[in-house]
Structure 1
Amino acid sequence: MGEPLAEGCTDAGTPGDAGIPSDAVLVTNTTRFYTSVGISERAEDMAAQPPELYVPHGSTFSLLLGSAVPGGWQFTGVPSGPYYLRTGTNFIVSNARHVDVGINKLGRPDTVYSDFYLTPLQLNLVNTAPWTNWSSSSLPGSSLQLASAQVDLFGALSLHDLIPDGETRILTHNAELWSSTGPIPVFEASKGDRLYVSQHSQYPAGTAPDGTALGYSAVDRAVEVGAFDFTPDGATPLPLAGVMQSPPRTEFPLEWRLPAYTAWTTDAHPLATPSIPTFSAIPAAHGTNNGWIGYSGELLTLQMPRAASFHFTQRLQFGNPFPSNWGVVGMGSYSFRVLETLPDGSGRRVSLTGSISTWDEFNSFIASPVQPSVSPPRALAIDGVLASSQREVGSASPVISWLPPTQGSVNAYRLALLRYLPEMNSLVPDGAIHLSGSATQVRLPPGMLKPDSIYYLRLSAYDSAGYDIERDPFHTREALPMARADAFSSLFTTP
């Protein structure tokens, strides 16, 4: 090749490729379903949306189209060295001869999903903790969440009636659930499908150095409603009734070193300012032997004031209504942002963001301070020009380059593109490239950048020993512990 594709990648195959011809690449798509009785696997048919393989030749690419084989999709005539494998909007840069692009998923493999993300609710919850209305991000008041242990569903409840402060019963037909995990599943009583309803209450967390009162939200009461049948149709309310109970509680000390995050602010972007620090305790369905799978809400959320930079030390607590064989994951994160004026003459401004985050077994955050373990990548550039100022790129396939982080080791990188949509006045994800931790540059493949568009890019460095980016990029990205740090560009336009 005339230029490095992803500098640091080797031309050798990876372990586990035995039995596949040396000029072939086998792609499989295995969904792993995590349930209370174990893990089941299902091989997915890729014929409707087959993967594509791009072979780089300097500044150009050749496209290879594979064909269905038993158990997967196979490409032949693939030369040695790194290639780009496309699945959906994701590109994986790999030299492996077998790649599985499957995902992990919670719930029964035979779950039927509706077409609806929103459903009305009919609530009759008694013995709730005294209700507190929202005051600020640091004093979040009371809220309700739903999660299931049998099917893949999590969502926060929207209450459209005002609940008076101090109220201990919620009786309303004017509520709804918006699913955060995708289409709402069909519940089947014969298969034991149930729901947890969790009430989060506001707790005090001391004061900031300037005297600002701090608070956090944590599970206070909960109930798991009995098995039921329900088919979402967007109009029929889902009835939820129960007597809320106090679940087992955990009290713990937290030492959160916020200056250790803000010290990296200008590494994320030279013009960045500190934004929002967040600490959470999160239930991990069915344990953490295979990492943190799926999303079942939060047990605790602590959000500090914008740009906070002090050592936070406090004893906190949360209730946990979930089964004893579930795990708890801790997450400490700090976001950064740059406000930029759009280069379209409109005068509108948008927020460009990145963050530094760490996920680990919750007990690890009790045993040691919460602080970053990896810093942002350095010297992010587009075609050799630093990416921290606005400009028009010169081609549809520019080279993105960077230097490794100053702190921590890197097992993988993820380069995400975010495109501005004028009709929504927002920046939305528009494709990503996944690379080995040894990479220091990558050329964008054809078609990834749309013409006459506005973008910015976010490069995430991952420190996670279990992340096998070249062979199993999506199953293994949920391994613990995992740390991430972002560098991001300014807005750029395409010709």
Structure 2
Amino acid sequence: MRVPMPLPFPRAWTSVRLLTALLLPLGVSALSCGDDASSPPPSGEAQDSVTGQRSITRRLETGDTRARDTTGVIDSLSVLIPQGDAFETRPVIVTGEGTFRFDDVPQDTPYYLKRGSGTYVVTGHRQLDLDEYVLGREGVVTVTAGLPVTMTVEGLAPLDARPNFEMVAPNAGAAGLIVLESEPPAGSTQLTGQPGHYRSSFGRQEVIDETRGDRLYVLQSQSNTSGDLNYRSITRALSLTQTTFQTNGQATPLAGTFQPVAMKEATVDWRRSSFEVHRAAVHPLAVPLGTSSVRHTLILAPAPGGVAQGVVGYAGELLSGSILAASQDVKATVVYGDPYPATWGVVANVVHRYQLPLRLRGTTGTVGASLVDQAELQAFLSRPVEARLSPPTRLQVDGRDAQQEHDLTSRTPLLTWEAPSVGTANVYDVRIFRLYKESGEPDFTYTETVATLLTAQRQVRIPPGVLQPEQAYVVRIGAMLTPGVDLTRSPYQLNTLVDYAVAETLTSVLHAP
């Protein structure tokens, strides 16, 4: 499911992942501390130490398995201690296989847990849980170029114009499209030696290997409408267990008979107006996306292995639809096929997207923001789908209105904001974008993410090294509703959230000195 939620710790949905507590409402100076904050440290450890653990659990079609963590996350950790507008650094101490510690971390102030070059969690917890669930086995080979295939299949529903086929291989953590090189005749129900390429949703192509237990699902979807909602949903499926992708430039044959998938029905009461009412809170310049652009979307997605541990990985979509940004409230009954085992779950979400003309002077370009609501399918269908959370309000940078363009006086400014007017946020995601131009296209503004921060407070100081001299930035702050999950203690659960809501707001352009 490609959810455009902000993700300080990687999540497949984001593309939007395409990006999911039991925290009390927190004031600006409150610490995000659970019961562990006042608990004594383990025997032999100093009162000012912070301890943590890190493990990987891989979800396969045959079940979950613990695996070695070869990602290097622990080695990339450090802690930053705020000292006014500066920070002191504490290095990580590896204490065992999958365990670590930081010493000399004061207990009377939140600290910044830093991973890599630009990912931070602002927290007061003394015990951290960095455990992570990953979809797919170890040792999956990936390649940069599209992998050639040929399709010799029958049993298709009559093809519509410009058909593509979705491909999912959960055991290899693979999901993407088979893009045909030429367009078969409309109405065809079979293909013979039809050339195409596998293109992954993740920007690199996974090599399917039958000897490692990889099962390949090839899926046909078809277009449909329900009132203002236009959507595509799975109707037929082909399961292949004896396929290994070639990496020598030769095409891998995909052959078999597609089978109809039992169709299910779902009725969504989509209160679009409850999202639209918060558009001005996103930013005074926010406008709905044009009819020729991405529209407000509805997605139903499979959850491999069920949702007991959250949504593990991305395995394509059962249904993907959209309404015009100008649509009214929609009550739509949709049909979709689910070819996966009954033990898998289904998660649904809606995403409302807005664009803002935030760019370098004299150029074109926009920056986007979203409001998201997501839940397990049955819970999603049992209530009106409406905004459970509105964007943060009263954004300020060093005490000035952050939704006005400013020249900053410091490269470590203090960002503050007020709570949403609707709902109670458990945590805030702060994402910092640098605006820049390419020499080949000097009239267009590009964006790149330079830092992300998770915090349960309503303020954050940008750490040193994030903002570079004489560069321009935009900051997006997302209020997040994460029932039952404390992301400031277990940040990798962000990648697996089932029940959540997100509402984002943006600053205007901020120029670093």
Residue aligning to 2:76: 50
Match of 2:448 among 428, 431, 451: 428
- Secondary structure of 1:490's partner? coil
Q: TM-score w.r.t. structure 1 length?
A: 0.89
Residue aligning to 2:30: 8
Cα 1:349–1:5 shift into 2, 3 Å: farther
Match of 1:366 among 364, 374, 381: 381
1:223-242 map, 5 Å = 223-230=238-245, 232=247, 235-242=249-256
Q: Is it true that 1:269 corresponds to 2:283 in the alignment?
A: yes
Q: Which of 10-19 and 183-192 deviates more? A: 10-19
Residue aligning to 2:134: 105
1:53-72 map, 5 Å = 53-71=79-97, 72=99
The structural deviation recorded for 1:273 is 1.2
Whether the 8 Å CA contact 1:143–1:201 is kept in 2: the answer is no
The structural deviation recorded for 1:464 is 1.1
Provide the aligned length of Structure 1 versus Structure 2.
Answer: 471
Q: Is it true that 1:447 corresponds to 2:465 in the alignment?
A: yes
Q: Is it true that 1:75 corresponds to 2:102 in the alignment?
A: yes
Inter-partner Cα distance in structure 2 for 1:34 and 1:332: 26
Inter-partner Cα distance in structure 2 for 1:164 and 1:381: 57
Aligned residue type for 2:160: T
The structural deviation recorded for 1:117 is 6.1
The structural deviation recorded for 1:94 is 1.2
TM-superposition CA deviations, 1:356-413 (whole Å, max 9, x none): 1111111122212211111111111221222222222221111111000011111111
Whether the 8 Å CA contact 1:121–1:240 is kept in 2: the answer is yes
The structural deviation recorded for 1:49 is 4.4
Identity of aligned residues (%): 26
Aligned residue type for 1:433: L
- Secondary structure of 2:177's partner? strand
Stretches of structure 2 lacking an aligned partner (at least 5 in a row): 1-25, 290-294
Match of 2:257 among 238, 243, 248: 243
Cα 1:340–1:183 shift into 2, 3 Å: closer
- Secondary structure of 1:364's partner? helix
The structural deviation recorded for 1:56 is 0.4
Whether the 8 Å CA contact 2:169–2:208 is kept in 1: the answer is no
1:289-308 map, 5 Å = 289-305=308-324, 307-308=325-326
CA RMSD of superposed structures (Å): 2.4
- Secondary structure of 1:409's partner? coil
Inter-partner Cα distance in structure 2 for 1:466 and 1:156: 35
The structural deviation recorded for 1:99 is 1.8
The structural deviation recorded for 1:321 is 0.7
Aligned residue type for 2:337: G
Inter-partner Cα distance in structure 2 for 1:493 and 1:361: 42
TM-superposition CA deviations, 1:60-97 (whole Å, max 9, x none): 10111223221333221111121111112310111112
Moved over 6 A (4+): none
Inter-partner Cα distance in structure 1 for 2:68 and 2:419: 36
Q: Which of 165-174 and 256-265 deviates more? A: 165-174
1:4-403 map, 5 Å = 7-9=29-31, 13-14=36-37, 18-19=41-42, 20-44=45-69, 46=72, 49-71=75-97, 72-80=99-107, 81-88=109-116, 89-108=118-137, 110-116=138-144, 118-133=146-161, 142-171=163-192, 174-181=195-202, 183-206=204-227, 208=228, 214-230=229-245, 232=247, 235-275=249-289, 276-305=295-324, 307-343=325-361, 347-403=362-418
- Secondary structure of 2:380's partner? helix
Q: Which of 482-491 and 388-397 deviates more? A: 388-397
